[in-house]
């Protein structure tokens, strides 16, 4: 069931913290082994923690 949850995360915007504030971006890739997602935001790309 966990892969379905991770796949569902691709449909929603993601929050990533950068420069002391939260940025809304789009999930580009998921790394389940590290529980992070690569998120594209206006200033580049950041890693966001996945909820476990």
Q: CA nearest 2: which of 29, 30, 40, 38?
A: 30
* pLDDT value of residue 7: 63
Domain ranges of the chain: 2-49
> pTM of the entire structure?
0.55
Q: CA nearest 10: which of 30, 24, 40?
A: 30
What is the per-residue pLDDT across 1-52, written as a single tens digit (0 to 9) for each?
Answer: 566 766 666 666 666 666 677 777 788 888 878 888 888 888 788 888 777 6
* pLDDT value of residue 9: 60
């Amino acid at each position: 069931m966990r892969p379905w949850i991770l796949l569902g995360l691709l449909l929603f915007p993601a929050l990533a913290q950068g420069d002391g504030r939260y940025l809304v971006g789009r999930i580009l890739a998921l790394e389940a082994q590290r529980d992070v997602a690569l998120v594209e935001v206006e200033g580049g790309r950041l890693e966001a923690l996945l909820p476990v």
